[in-house]
Amino acid sequence: MKVGILGTATWRTPPRHYGPWELFVYNLAEALLDKGIDVTVFATKDSKTRAKLKAIVPVPYREHPSKMPERIWETQHIGFFYEHADEFDILHNSFDFIPLTYSRLVDKPLVTTIHGFSSSDIIPIYVRYHDRCAYVSISFANRHPDLKYIANVYHGINLAEFDFSPKGGDYLLFLGRISRDKGTDIACQLAKKVQKKLIIAGIVPPEEEKYFNQKVKPDIDGKQIKFIGPVGPKEKNEILGKAQALVHLINFEEPFGFTLIEAMATGTPIIGFNKGAVAEIIADGKTGFVVDNLQEAEGAVARISEIKREACRKRVEDNFTREIMAKNYLKVYQKVIDEYSRNKKT
């Protein structure tokens, strides 16, 4: 089977620090290769992968915004992918809704992983191309009632990149994009209420600088609350494993949440608000606590020692490895290919 996967041109694949969609493409491609699948990844030219790499975009446009006008490179990137459609048995779109609008121009089966909905305005596009593309959700919480899905496939990570830490440490950790949606300021509030150290790690997107300066930065004192910026894979593994708990007190319906499974892979439990996919990922009371408000989060901190770190690691081993993810996508690919062939004969 020959698979062409359309990644993004937003960040490098795999990401240097932030880039969940890019991390998904990287892990999927690597795991498919291990299963003997012929994989080609469409990403930026500086991407690193054992798969075949095809690229027209020199560098990620979010890393070089002045040199890389987003729409100009994005449209070339998508068009370049479809120009090579005949080389594959199946096409896999992991780049949101725009590639759907090209889909009727090629005669190949197509799968789209829906990573989330940036706006309700894009739903009609998914509806319009429903007959042309098989949709895969990344959590049941992220499904839209107007769409039909061929499968739900949870993201998976490479467990070898995360060391199990049986003891952990004494600080709380916020890891991810610094934003109102991710609730960075709420994590600060929690740390102050329970008098715990908090480490904040992640990027501050340009559109969130005002939020960061007004709502987060005033709480950063370098002692109780420390901001260390974005971290690469090695640093991420270390700070996750040494944390007492990951705090994920979000303000939006999280489609999935890579940091949740990364934390559990090191043995670190999670305290997360019950929004989006959080309750699907955390086994409440076993690998962390799913809470509804800040007061409940305070209580969860007091009970965090009840969580067995071995259970956190086991949760990932059983549900969220990239090997499991690839196995499930292979089932999707074969089903879509078979259905496409039947439809062509009728």
Degrees to nearest 5, angle at CA 14 with 13 and 20: 95
Strand partners, 45: none
> Per CATH, which fold does 160-319 belong to?
Rossmann fold (3.40.50)
- Tens of pLDDT, residue by residue over 268-286, are 999 999 999 999 999 999 9
For residue 92, name the pLDDT band (cuts at 50, 70, 90). very high
Give tens-digit pLDDT for 237-272. Answer: 999 999 999 999 999 999 999 999 999 999 999 999
Question: To 10 degrees, what angle do helices 322-345 and 20-34 make?
Answer: 80
Work out the pLDDT band at 18, boundaries 50, 70, 90. Answer: confident
| CATH fourth-level superfamily of 2-156+321-345 | Glycogen Phosphorylase B; (3.40.50.2000)
Find the mean pLDDT for residues 16-27: 94
Residues of the chain with CATH 3.40.50.2000: 2-156+321-345, 160-319
**Please, which pLDDT band fits residue 67 given cuts at 50, 70 and 90?**
low
Residue 47 has pLDDT above 70, yes or no: yes
In this prediction, residue 68 carries a pLDDT of: 66
- State residue 17's pLDDT score: 87
- In this predicted model, what pLDDT tens digit does every residue of 291-303 receive, in sequence order? 999 999 999 999 9
| Single-letter residue type at 1 | M
Q: Are 138 and 153 in contact (CB under 8 A)?
A: yes
* C-alpha distance from residue 53 to each of 132, 206, 262 (Å): 26, 30, 26
Tell me what the pLDDT averaged over the chain comes to: 95
Kindly state the average pLDDT of the residues 158-184.
Answer: 96
- Beta strand spans in the chain (E): 2-6, 38-42, 52-54, 90-93, 110-114, 134-137, 151-152, 171-175, 197-201, 225-229, 243-248, 270-273, 288-291
**∠ CA(74), CA(78), CA(80), 5° rounding?**
115
Of 245, 224, 263, the residue nearest 173 (C-alpha): 245
